[in-house]
Amino acid sequence: MAKKSTPETTESPADLEHSLQALEMLVERMEHGELSLEQALADFEQGIALVRRCETVLKAAEQKVQILIERSGHSELAPFVAEGEE
């Protein structure tokens, strides 16, 4: 019997890293401008799919963080401010 995929099992941080690396490679290829129109369109389509995959992973991570925060008794996320950025 086929196992149903859930947001927790379909994508992982490793998938995000792999997708980002693949996206960077596509951008480099497209920036060089040596592709045919057909290849550029195919790469662009693949890039859009990779961006959507990254968004899915990031949204799932954000939901997990939100659940953990709610369980800890806090009601909402606070904006992140890196040291030196004020």
Q: What is the CATH number of the domain that holds 24?
A: 1.10.287
Question: What span, in angstroms and rounded, lies between the C-alpha atoms of 51 and 22?
Answer: 10
| Span 38-73, pLDDT tens digits | 999 999 999 999 999 999 999 998 898 888 888 887
Q: What total number of domains does the chain contain?
A: 1
Question: What span, in angstroms and rounded, lies between the C-alpha atoms of 44 and 1?
Answer: 36
What confidence tier does 76 reach under pLDDT thresholds 50, 70, 90?
Answer: low
Task: Quote the domain boundaries for residue 58.
Answer: 12-71
Question: What span, in angstroms and rounded, lies between the C-alpha atoms of 25 and 19?
Answer: 10
| pLDDT value of residue 11 | 59
Residue 41 located in a structural domain:
yes
Residue 64 located in a structural domain:
yes
Residue 6 located in a structural domain:
no
